Structure 1
Amino acid sequence: MREVQLAERMDDPQCDLQELNQTYAQFGAVNGLVAGWRQVYRQFLRPRLLASRPNTLLDIGCGGGDVPRALARWAARDGFTVRITAIDADARAVAFAGAQPPVSGLHFRQAMSGDLVQEGQRFDLVISNHLLHHLTAPELDALLADSEVLCSGLGSGLVVHSDIQRSPLAYLGFRAGIAPLFRGSFIGEDGLLSIRRSFTAAELRGLAPTAWTVRTLIPFRNLLMYEAPGRG
Structure 2
Amino acid sequence: MSLAARDERLLEVMDDPNCDPVRLHRTLRRFWAVNGAVSRWGRVYRNHVRPALARSTGPVRILDIGCGGGDVLRRLVRLARRDGFAVEGVGIDPDPRAWAAASSGAPVDGVSFRAAASGELVAAGERFDAVVSNHLLHHLDAVSLEAVLADSQTLATRVCVHSDIARSRLAYAAFAVCAAPIAPGTFLRVDGLRSIRRSYTRDELAARLPRGWLAEQPAAFRLLAVHRTWRFGVRPDEEAPA
Query: 1:2-17 alignment to 2 at 5 Å?
Result: 2-17=6-21
Match of 1:199 in 2: 200
> 2:122 aligned with 1:117, yes or no?
yes
Distance in 2 of aligned mates of 1:226 and 1:48: 11
Q: What's the offset of the Cα at 1:191?
A: 0.1
Match of 1:71 in 2: 76
Distance in 2 of aligned mates of 1:130 and 1:179: 19
Match of 2:29 in 1: 25
Question: Could you report, residue by residue, the CA deviation over 1:178-210 in whole angstroms, capped at 9, with x for unpaired residues?
Answer: 334422100000000000000100001111111
Distance in 1 of aligned mates of 2:206 and 2:131: 19
1:3 counterpart SS class: coil
CA contact (8 A) 1:205 1:213 kept: yes
Match of 1:90 in 2: 95
Distance in 2 of aligned mates of 1:219 and 1:178: 17
Query: 1:181-196 alignment to 2 at 5 Å?
Result: 181-196=182-197
> 2:221 aligned with 1:220, yes or no?
yes
> 2:144 aligned with 1:143, yes or no?
no
Name structure 1 gaps, 5 residues minimum: none
1:231 counterpart SS class: helix
Q: What percentage of aligned pairs have identical amino acids?
A: 50
Match of 1:175 in 2: 176
Distance in 2 of aligned mates of 1:180 and 1:59: 28
Aligned length: 228
Which deviates further from its counterpart, 34-43 or 46-55?
A: 46-55
Distance in 2 of aligned mates of 1:164 and 1:70: 19
Q: What's the offset of the Cα at 1:17?
A: 1.2
CA contact (8 A) 1:180 1:188 kept: no
Match of 1:57 in 2: 62
Distance in 2 of aligned mates of 1:46 and 1:146: 21
Q: What's the offset of the Cα at 1:102?
A: 1.9
Q: What's the offset of the Cα at 1:80?
A: 1.3
CA contact (8 A) 2:29 2:105 kept: no
Which structure 1 residue ranges, 4+ long, deviate > 4 Å from structure 2?
A: none
CA contact (8 A) 1:132 1:161 kept: yes
TM-score by length of 1: 0.95
Q: What's the offset of the Cα at 1:47?
A: 2.0
